Amino acid sequence: MSIDVEKKTDRNLAMELVRVTEAAALAASHWIGKGKKNEADGAAVEGMRRAFDSVGIHGTVVIGEGEMDEAPMLYIGEKVGAGGPEMDIAVDPLEGTTLTAKAGPNALAVLALAEKGNFLHAPDVYMDKIAVGGGLPQGVVDLDAGVVANLRNLAKAKKCDISDLTACILDRDRHKEIIAHCREAGARVLLLSDGDVFGVMATTMPETGVDIYLGWGGAPEGVLAAAALRCVDGQMQGRLIYEDDTQRQRAISMGLTDPDVKLGIMDMARGDVMFSATGVTSGTMLKGVRRMPHAAVTHSIVMRSKSGTVRFVEAFHNFDTKTWTPS
């Protein structure tokens, strides 16, 4: 019986990616509830960067912690991996730094991988987003349609009433009008204090109760969320929002010829995409890191667009008693 070497390599790579997000989550978990979001973020970045040293890729960070002069590790353009195929890397070592500091729900360590050139090089600006999960007619929602029209079309596609839908929106003053329109139409609104990637991913998991994601969030987080949705046939559109012409020119310099274009999901994450997330704090999608003397348990999700496979991975980690690092 012959062995499909490519499939075996893909499976191995998927598990290597899980180990990377596990490492970030484990490092950040030391700071849960301690009120120090910068320390939590720094620990996650260091843990993730160290874990990349054993991954069999030649990776380039295209969505990361900022420019080279802004971030010591996982900066845009940094090369990571132990050697192998050319890959683009999108990372958020700790989505939910404040959530971690306050022991709030749904903090995640997040990573996406694609062949070179297949991720949007998104500047660190806002992105207006709309997203839904898989199993729906293409074009069921549109960024340029009104909130009520999108809710009406989504309810029709799901064969339910608008009052049965839940919209997930970041709890920000800029979203007051969107929130009001949702509630006036009869939909429920789940407000997030933080967690842009989680908010989009929540549309893919029935247990979260989320049907649609709306509103402005980070553009880099939009690319990560698009990668996750690609793996489950979800739908997403986005448009970059600029505070000044400097930001607009930055987008153009990063390869976006039309900085005001409405981006589809394939504009943000093309080709064969892999995605991994590990829970830092417990939420509706993933359990957080559970620590115990000299050991911990992690809960992760790993997905791949080519196969449409979604795997949940629960792992038990033994630790060195002095350094509290995986042994």
**For 204-257, what is each residue's pLDDT tens digit?**
998 899 999 999 999 999 999 999 999 999 999 999 999 999 999 989 988 888
Arithmetic mean of pLDDT, 309-316: 94
Instruction: Write down the pTM of the prediction.
Output: 0.92
For residue 240, which phi and psi values (nearest 5 degrees)?
Answer: -70, 145
The Cα–Cα gap between 188 and 48 comes to: 36
Per-residue pLDDT tens over the stretch 108-146? 999 999 999 999 999 899 999 999 999 999 999 999 999
For residue 11, the model assigns a pLDDT of 59
Classify the phi-psi angles of 203: left when phi > 0, otherwise alpha if psi is within -120 to 50, otherwise beta: alpha
**262 DSSP assignment:** P
Q: What percent of the chain has pLDDT over 70?
A: 94
Arithmetic mean of pLDDT, 198-203: 95
The answer to whether 286 and 108 have CB atoms below 8 angstroms apart is yes
- Inter-CA distances, 84 with 13, 115, 123, 289, 300, Å: 11, 11, 27, 30, 24
Q: Which domains are assigned to the chain?
A: 5-118+273-318 (3.30.540.10), 126-268 (3.40.190.90)
